[in-house]
Chain A
Amino acid sequence: QSVLTQPPSASGTPGQRVTISCSGSSSNIGSNTVNWYQQLPGTAPKLLIYSNNQRPSGVPDRFSGSKSGTSASLAISGLQSEDEADYYCAAWDDSLNAVVFGGGTKLTVL
């Protein structure tokens, strides 16, 4: 049971826009920034979004993040086949004194 809650799966067709949610509490998302990771099959995770809505250099602007209260979202527009991957949200938890992850969302491009 993960501290942050994500839907286990999401899907879309090429060109579509999809969103992935991440729900937490006042001790994590409610008081700290949210980060998102993309894990392509058989590879290490890669930082996709940091500080709620910032993209590292090299990440396409098709990827965007937002946060409101104790929830956050990752949006992917202009969906491409190479976006098929697992996506994870993460944040610091002030009560646990630990980094907490969501359970991950498997994105399928139909």
Chain B
Amino acid sequence: EVQLVESGGVVVQPGGSLRLSCAASGFTFDDYTMHWVRQAPGKGLEWVSLISWDGGSTYYADSVKGRFTISRDNSKNSLYLQMNSLRTEDTALYYCAKGPYSSSWDGEFDLWGRGTLVTVSS
């Protein structure tokens, strides 16, 4: 079955760190760019970051630049998001999403996971 499964979401204090994971299955993971997209409770979608098929290109939203790091391990069919210096405004459901190309990108996400909830609160 073609799917993405996120994990790692927990309650963390402001200033803390967290690493999210996304396990891919059912498709050739290293053929595609991967993304993280988040959705704060009751709010709209916000793109967070992307990584090209080989990890050679990464981009970040201004809101997370310098605090979050996206990475991937193609041997494990896994995508990661290292989140440091967390703020209350980072509280959201974090989705892993697949792009349709290996090393070009636009706003097209053709496969989504169900998300993992990150809550930043003291």
Contacts and interface: CB of A to CB of B under 8 A. Distances in A.
Interface of A: 2, 32-35, 37, 39, 44-47, 50-51, 56, 86, 88, 90-92, 96-104
B44 A104 contact: yes
Interface of B: 35, 37, 44-47, 50, 59-62, 95, 100, 105-110, 112-115
15 contacts: A33-B107, A35-B108, A35-B109, A44-B112, A44-B115, A45-B109, A45-B112, A47-B109, A50-B100, A90-B45, A90-B109, A98-B62, A99-B35, A99-B106, A102-B44
Nearest to A6: B44
B105 A99 contact: yes
Given A2-B44, A96-B62, A101 B110 contact: no
User: Top 5 A-B pairs ranked by shortest CB distance?
Assistant: A90-B107, A99-B47, A104-B44, A44-B112, A92-B106
B112 A35 contact: no
Contact of A92 (B44, B62, B105): B105
Given A35-B106, A91-B107, A101 B47 contact: yes
A103 B44 contact: yes
A37 B61 CA distance: 20
A45 B107 CA distance: 13
A89 to B, nearest CB: 8
B61 A44 contact: no
A88 B106 CA distance: 14
A104 B100 CA distance: 22
A56 B111 CA distance: 11
A56 B110 contact: yes
Contacts of A46: 112
A47 B60 CA distance: 22
Given A91-B107, A101-B45, 9 more contacts: A32-B106, A35-B108, A37-B109, A86-B44, A88-B44, A90-B108, A96-B62, A100-B47, A101-B44
